[in-house]
């Protein structure tokens, strides 16, 4: 499998090269040159457990790593999960819930990042190289990325996050990791500021190569790849082709669902659930992608206006026309607004925005009707599934993206008296946090990296 950039300036990369490149050097995102078709292997794949299915799917994309080695890295990555099937499955009335939060940091990001850390380690050792990972997090990516690479000799990791805008527990999950190769950087700004700074640094190719920078955000293709697996797995487990309802921020997770469907897994519609940061919901309604103000909500991992993975979706929507995509992105970059002229032609993807009141009501409903405690991100999806139910004639599977114990305050607000807890998080209190606070400028971030590397 070879990889190319959505903007047309990079092509013919191997999987391991694309793993290390992260963001494509022309500013676009890396995608596989073709999407493998598994539609004639459904019966064979249906019988597999999660890890075996992951090995089959990932081998199609990561074909420059020897198969035995790859299988072993995948098995090790998912051995860190506490659920025997890696992912959990719950039925809440008509809606099924696919629990993706049984990894070490209790959010779905572990599914990709436990594997990514091991892939990096393996490839760097093979090549005798060192990597400085730079990531921006709205909360969950940071701790999951840190958990994936902590203590690894060939990697330093720098995580930018908006100061005071991730939950206190999420911050502790990052800042209490004692390994020397972990650098937590609190930026006085929003998540979009952090992501913007990261993009600017990756665009500075001289700095990027001087400091051997790599990416763990969902701009990294390997993350999307790993996430395809659970959509395939769940689609084969449902009695008939399900539609997936996905609480969405950067569009990485729902884009993985899109690819699973393109590969031939039996999947109905894709239901995109956003919080009040509704740029995607507006796009699917009217075809205009227009930046709005960032709202800070109960689901901070989705407080994103500019969804980096949306570019990958548009690339396929534009039938892999890089010139058209590049023009669209340039217009958006310059004016904060770009349009495809009309609402998207297909209704295979639907989107809706869910407000705070609806989110709280969804947590309350799941608790009162099904004795199940949802985290506020999963609740956005669950609320959306309720709205979509009349428009969709397939079963709906909602993805549950975080354990409720990560967001105890939102749970308390929705269902007073219910304390969402988890031993992993209880163990954090009393540990000493370590962080640096910086202004949201390029120079400040570069200074942190330069100092950390020395």
Ligand X SMILES: *Cc1c(COP(=O)(O)O)cnc(C)c1O
Catalytic residue ranges: 109
Minimal distance in Å, beta carbon 250 to ligand X?
3
Q: For 405, which DSSP code?
A: G
By CB under 6 A, residue 140 contacts ligand X: yes
Q: How far is CA 46 from the centre of its chain?
A: 25
By CB under 6 A, residue 312 contacts ligand X: no
Residues 6+ apart with CB under 8 A from 325: 6, 7, 28, 311, 314, 315, 318
Binding pattern for the stretch 59-98 against ligand X, x by CB under 6 A and - elsewhere:
----------------------------------------
Contact residue for ligand X among 22, 27, 142, 247 (CB under 6 A): 247
Interacting span for ligand X (CB under 6 A) from 29-37, 192-200, 246-254, 322-330: 246-254
Using CA atoms, how far residue 217 sits from 23, 36, 115, 138, 144, in Å, is 9, 23, 13, 11, 11
By CB under 6 A, residue 425 contacts ligand X: no
Interacting span for ligand X (CB under 6 A) from 38-46, 61-69, 184-192, 248-256: 248-256
Minimal distance in Å, beta carbon 124 to ligand X?
25
The rounded distance, in Å, linking the Cα atoms of 340 and 347 is 15
Binding pattern for the stretch 364-383 against ligand X, x by CB under 6 A and - elsewhere:
-------------x------
Helices (H), 238-335: 252-263, 279-286, 310-317, 322-335
For ligand X, the closer CB: 45 or 107: 107
Using CA atoms, how far residue 67 sits from 57, 72, 125, 233, in Å, is 12, 9, 17, 21
Interacting span for ligand X (CB under 6 A) from 36-44, 174-182, 242-250, 390-398: 242-250
For ligand X, the closer CB: 377 or 452: 377
Taking CA 68 as the corner, what is the angle to CA 87 and CA 233, rounded to the nearest 5 degrees? 25
- Closest of 357, 353, 381, 227 to residue 284, by C-alpha: 353
Locus of tokens 């959306």: 384
Binding pattern for the stretch 397-416 against ligand X, x by CB under 6 A and - elsewhere:
----xx--------------
By CB under 6 A, residue 133 contacts ligand X: no
Q: What are phi and psi of 101, to 5 degrees?
A: -110, 30
Q: How many CB atoms lie within 10 A of CB 75?
A: 13
By CB under 6 A, residue 251 contacts ligand X: yes
For ligand X, the closer CB: 29 or 124: 29
By CB under 6 A, residue 208 contacts ligand X: no
> How many residues make up the chain in this entry?
454
Residues that bind ligand X (CB under 6 A): 107, 109, 140, 218, 247-253, 301-302, 377, 401-402
């Amino acid at each position: 499998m070879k990889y190319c950039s959505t903007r047309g300036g990079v092509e013919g990369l191997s999987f391991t090269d694309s793993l290390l490149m992260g963001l494509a050097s022309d500013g676009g995102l890396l995608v596989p040159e073709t999407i493998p078709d598994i539609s004639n292997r459904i019966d064979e794949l249906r019988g597999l457990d999660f890890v075996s299915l992951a090995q089959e799917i990932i081998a199609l994309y990561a074909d420059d790593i020897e198969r035995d080695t790859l299988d072993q890295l995948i098995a090790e990555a998912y051995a860190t999960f506490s659920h025997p099937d890696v992912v959990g499955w719950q039925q809440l009335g008509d809606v099924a819930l696919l629990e993706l939060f049984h990894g070490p940091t209790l959010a779905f990001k572990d599914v990709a990042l436990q594997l990514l850390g091991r892939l990096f380690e393996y490839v760097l050792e093979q090549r005798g190289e060192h990597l400085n990972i730079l990531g921006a997090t709205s909360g969950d990516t940071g701790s999951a990325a840190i958990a994936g690479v902590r203590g690894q000799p060939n990697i330093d990791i720098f995580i930018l996050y908006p100061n005071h805008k991730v939950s206190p527990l999420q911050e502790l999950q990052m800042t209490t990791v004692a390994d020397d190769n972990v650098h937590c950087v609190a930026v006085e700004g929003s998540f979009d500021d952090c992501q913007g700074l990261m993009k600017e640094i990756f665009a500075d190719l001289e700095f990027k190569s001087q400091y051997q920078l790599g990416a763990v955000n969902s701009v990294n293709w390997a993350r999307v790849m790993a996430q395809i697996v659970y959509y395939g797995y769940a689609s084969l487990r449902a009695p008939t082709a399900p539609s997936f309802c996905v609480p969405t921020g950067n569009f990485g997770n729902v884009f993985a669902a899109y690819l699973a469907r393109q590969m031939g897994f039996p999947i109905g519609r894709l239901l995109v659930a956003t919080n009040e940061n509704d740029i995607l919901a507006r796009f699917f309604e009217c075809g205009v992608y227009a930046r709005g103000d960032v709202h800070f909500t109960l689901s901070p991992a989705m407080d994103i206006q500019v969804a980096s993975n949306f570019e990958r979706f548009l690339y396929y929507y534009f039938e892999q026309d890089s010139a058209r995509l590049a023009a669209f992105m340039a217009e958006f970059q310059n004016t904060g607004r770009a349009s495809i002229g009309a609402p998207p032609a297909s209704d295979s993807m639907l989107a809706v925005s869910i407000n705070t009141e609806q989110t709280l009501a969804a947590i309350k409903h799941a608790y009162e009707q099904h004795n199940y405690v949802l985290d506020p991100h999963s609740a956005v999806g669950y609320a959306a599934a309720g709205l979509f139910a009349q428009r969709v004639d397939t079963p709906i599977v909602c993805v549950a993206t975080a354990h409720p114990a990560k967001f105890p305050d939102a749970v308390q607000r929705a269902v007073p008296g219910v304390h969402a807890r988890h031993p992993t998080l209880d163990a954090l209190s009393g540990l000493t946090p370590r962080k640096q606070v910086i202004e949201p400028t390029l120079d400040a971030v570069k200074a942190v990296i330069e100092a950390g590397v020395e």
